[in-house]
Amino acid sequence: MAIQRHLNNAPIVEAVIDIRVNLKSAFKEDEISSLKNVLGEQYPTSETIKIFEGGFGLVKGEPWVDTLKDKGIDGFRFKSKDEKNIVQFKNDGFTFNRLKPYTSWNNVIVDAKSLWGIYFSNFSVERVTRIAVRYINQLDIPLPIKDFKDFLTRPPDVPDDVPDAISSFLCRIVLHDVERSISANVAQALEKSIKPDFANIILDIDVYKNVDMQSDNYEQIWVILEQLHKLKNKIFFNSITESTARLFE
């Protein structure tokens, strides 16, 4: 495992803060105008998120496709000027995405708090039902790789007496912190890299807590997010070796 610390060139390609809610009433098309005014020049790009419903199948051996039906507004998506920050205000919750280059948790949480305040002020939030932090890391490892154990603490285990040249792998586990009722989806995957001299290992960590709390319990939301972020960090540094961490200092 690696020592927990700040990495100046952290391999984070996307950081996500997600808060699921119950609303008293669904979004309306004209509400995007007021949001544009509030978000101003910081988030100039906007789009409406719609829900469509359709179907397909076989009827007497013949293909059947149902016409798509417009089921109405699901929410709105806004992008910052540099398109590195994305916020979604939806019927089932609030999502803030920070894309590469990652700055810091403190910066992300400040932006998320501000945008959550806008969501909460403009829509009739009844209860918060789920809080999550997700970090997608892209570990560019220089080739050749003699042994994945040099970079991952739990690499894929190849059976004895079989070819051991690996071109792809996928491993997903679900962890539970029973004491604090926190869960985490952790996925490791080897994908084809666009860099010819590197292997591309994805380490995707999604830490979440199912809750049932009043939406105005503002401080508790951020207390839980801090807990989730700390567990995310623990999983990340315990999943990589010190050699890997040094690649991103």
DSSP per-residue codes, the chain: -PPP---TT--EEEEEEEEEEEESS---TTHHHHHHHHHGGGS-EEEEEEEEE--EEEETTEEEEPPPEEEEEEEEEEE-TTS-EEEEEETTEEEEEEESSP--HHHHHHHHHHHHHHHHHHS-EEEEEEEEEEEEEEEEEESP-S-GGGTBSS---PPTTS----S-EEEEEEEEETTTTEEEEEEEEEE--SSTTEEEEEEEEEEEEEEEEETT-HHHHHHHHHHHHHHHHHHHHHHB-HHHHHTT-
Whose CA is closest to 84, among 32, 12, 167?
Answer: 12
Q: Does this model's pTM top 0.85?
A: yes
Q: Which one has a higher pLDDT value, 67 or 201? A: 201
Section 83-110 average pLDDT: 96
Confidence of residue 68 (pLDDT cuts 50, 70, 90): low
pLDDT of residue 70: 65
pLDDT exceeds 80 at position 34: yes
Confidence of residue 117 (pLDDT cuts 50, 70, 90): very high
pLDDT of residue 30: 75
For the chain, what is the mean pLDDT?
Answer: 91
CA dihedral (157, 199, 239, 113) positive or negative = negative
pLDDT exceeds 80 at position 28: no
Confidence of residue 54 (pLDDT cuts 50, 70, 90): low
